[in-house]
Amino acid sequence: QSALAQPASVSGSPGQSITISCSGSSNDVGSYNLVSWYQQHPGKAPKLMIFEDSRRPSGVSNRFSGSKSGNTASLTISGLQAEDGADYYCSSFAGSSVLFGGGTKLTVL
Amino acid sequence: QVQLVQSGTEEKKPGASVKVSCKASGYTFTGYYIHWLRQAPGQGLEWMGWINPNSGDTNYAQKFQGRIAVTRDTSRRTAYMELSRLMSDDAAVYYCARDGFSSSSGDYWGQGTLVTVSS
């Protein structure tokens, strides 16, 4: 199974909003409401930001939101802050496995 | 508080096996699946498999079938991931993660275990 497709990089200025896309197929993203998003700072373990397409774990800022349309999921970060600069990964249940995207590096200008 | 504490750095030779442990605390160990993932240097995350600590049932990524074994010891509240026939491209940081929402996601992660493979 192929990995999910994410842009390699995105950037934005403080206060702006950015969106990271995650493209899959009808066998994964499009079939299950089980897309997750992770934030990872260098040298650290990933942190869950969104699960089940759009739900936020307790303690995650409401500046982070998830959505999905068809086979493509999206993570939107509003009111960008310097500490949002990190790598972001999407993942999706795919029937009997879990697929990850290649990751997107977010640069806060 | 929920914690997953992994075993330390491993240095292995090609062809050897490695077994990484993941000790859970702060929650009911048998109540949540544990995922194993890895991240090669400078690369993205890769899912390897999961275990249901209650039943011991496992599911592995096709890529690792025949080479991976995930087990658990409920008395020690510990999950284990053993990868055999190591190759140089198995060098990575290996993570365990708890699936706290039963949604194929990891809400709590171990600190990672670095595995190096070199002759």
Query: DSSP states of B16-33 as a string?
Result: --EEEEEEEESS-GGGS-
Q: Is A39 on the interface with B (CB under 8 A)?
A: no
Q: B48 CB contacts (<8 Å, ≥6 apart)?
A: B35, B36, B37, B38, B60, B61, B64, B68, B81, B94
CB contact under 8 A, A91 and B44: no
- Chain A residues inside the 8 Å CB shell of B50: 98
Q: Please list the ranges in chain A whose pLDDT falls under 70.
A: 1-2
- At A71 the pLDDT is 97
- The answer to whether B57 faces chain A, any CB pair under 8 Å, is no
Assigned token pair, A43 = 């040298």
Query: What is residue B102's predicted lDDT score, i.e. its pLDDT?
Result: 86
Minimal CA separation from A79 to chain B, in Å: 24
Strands A104-108 and A9-12, by their bridges, are parallel
Residues 6 or more apart whose CB falls under 8 angstroms from that of A61 comprise none
8 Å CB contact of B104 and A101: no
Could you read off the pLDDT of B13-43 as tens digits, one per residue? Answer: 999 999 999 999 999 999 999 999 999 999 9
Q: Cβ distance B60 to B46 under 8 Å? A: no
Alpha-carbon span B114 to B8, nearest angstrom = 7
pLDDT-above-90 percentage for chain B: 97
What distance in Å separates residue B17's CA from the closest CA in chain A?
Answer: 23
Backbone angles phi, psi at B34, to 5 degrees: -120, 130
How many whole angstroms separate alpha carbon A102 and alpha carbon B90?
17
pLDDT on residue B60: 97
**pLDDT for A3:** 86
Residues 6+ apart with CB under 8 A from B65: none
Residue A44 and residue A41: Cα distance in Å, rounded? 5
Reply yes or no on whether the pLDDT at B52 is more than 60. Answer: yes
Task: For residue range B62-111, list pLDDT tens digits in order.
Answer: 999 999 999 999 999 999 999 999 999 999 999 999 999 888 999 999 99
pLDDT confidence of residue B75: 97
What pLDDT, on the 0 to 100 scale, is given for residue A2?
A: 62
Contacts 24+ apart (CB under 8 A), B108-112: B108/B2, B108/B3, B108/B4, B109/A45, B109/A46, B109/A47, B109/B4, B110/A45, B110/B4, B110/B5, B110/B6, B110/B22, B111/A45, B111/B4, B111/B5, B111/B6, B112/A45, B112/B6, B112/B39
